[in-house]
């Protein structure tokens, strides 16, 4: 049973989460808007739509870059028990989760404050000044669905493709609170530990975040944990 509160919105599950997704025209506009010259990105896609692209982070989106197995479990937790996710891709054996700008700075700080941070594998958090390589808009061949009730294959985890493709001009993106929530549960499920979250200060801050579970019994204001830059 999900512990994500009903007052927090949940995205509808994609119809084909286990197959490669295609970027829509609106989604391509959103991706291109991250570049200083979106028209140049569109021109490159028009000439070579099956080639990966490099896009800057920090203004339109941040990207949380996770190891393949943990990242796939993280996405599964977001969809099965949480609010869903924004765009998600695989590239060179890593999972790329597109997140709200500012998440790359805040998520490592939130994870570093709790005793369970050691159970979360190292995450690469890409924000201002960073760039990421995203998969092609259109795969070279039509993907085949995964067999039902079977583990994801090595090819499924290492192929460069979209798992949840951008499909609207302004997609919903998870923030640090939602990703902290999912990281805790993915890490604890991997280690066989119960998924109850300790009532530490960062757990309280995560619950009070607009994009993370809120505890109705908690009435105190979470302390400010990250000093202003």
- Which DSSP string do the residues of 182-221 spell out, in sequence order? HHHHHHHHHHT---PPP--HHHHHHHHSTTS---TT--SP
Question: Could you tell me if residue 18 is inside a domain?
Answer: no
Whole-model pTM: value is 0.73
* Length of the chain in terms of residues written: 229
85 in a structural domain: yes
Query: Among the listed ranges 10-19, 21-30, 167-176, which one has the minimum average pLDDT value?
Result: 10-19
At residue 167, does pLDDT exceed 50?
Answer: yes
What residues contact 188, with CB distance under 8 A and at least 6 apart?
116, 119, 194, 195
Total domains in the fold of the chain: 1
Nearest partner of 197 among 124, 188, 212, 224, judged by Cα: 188
| Low-confidence winner among 12-21, 132-141, 180-189 (lowest mean pLDDT) | 12-21
Which domain, by its residues, includes 151?
A: 25-173
Residue 7 falls within a domain, yes or no?
Answer: no
Q: What is the pLDDT of residue 17?
A: 43
The answer to whether residue 200 is domain-embedded is no
pLDDT of 203: 41
In a domain, 1, yes or no: no
How does pLDDT run across 168-205, given as a tens digit for each residue? 999 999 999 999 999 999 988 766 655 444 444 334 44
Q: Would 213 be classed as within a structural domain?
A: no
Interhelix angle 103-112/176-191, nearest 10 degrees: 40
Parallel/antiparallel/unpaired status of strands 94-99 and 88-91: antiparallel
Residue 71 placed within a domain? yes
Question: Does residue 199 fall inside a structural domain?
Answer: no
Tokens of 227: 């000093």
């Amino acid at each position: 049973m999900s512990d994500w509160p009903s007052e927090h919105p949940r995205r509808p599950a994609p119809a084909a989460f286990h197959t490669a997704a295609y970027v829509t025209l609106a989604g391509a506009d959103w991706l291109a808007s991250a570049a200083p010259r979106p028209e140049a990105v569109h021109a490159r896609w028009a000439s070579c739509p099956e080639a990966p692209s490099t896009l800057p982070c920090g203004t339109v989106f941040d990207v949380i870059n996770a190891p393949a197995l943990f990242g796939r479990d993280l996405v599964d937790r977001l969809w099965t028990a949480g609010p869903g996710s924004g765009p998600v891709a695989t590239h060179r054996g890593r999972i790329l989760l597109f997140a709200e700008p500012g998440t790359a700075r805040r998520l490592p700080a939130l994870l570093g404050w709790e005793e369970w941070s050691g159970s979360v594998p190292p995450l690469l958090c890409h924000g201002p000044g960073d760039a990421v390589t995203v998969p092609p808009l259109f795969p070279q061949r039509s993907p085949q669905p995964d067999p039902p009730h079977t583990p994801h294959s090595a090819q499924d985890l290492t192929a460069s493709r979209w798992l949840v493709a951008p499909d609207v001009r302004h997609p919903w993106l998870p923030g640090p609170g939602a990703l902290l929530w999912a990281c805790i549960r993915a890490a604890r499920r991997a280690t066989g530990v119960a998924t109850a979250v300790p009532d530490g200060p960062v757990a309280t801050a995560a619950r009070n975040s607009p994009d993370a579970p809120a505890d109705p019994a908690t009435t105190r204001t979470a302390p400010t944990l990250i000093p202003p830059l």
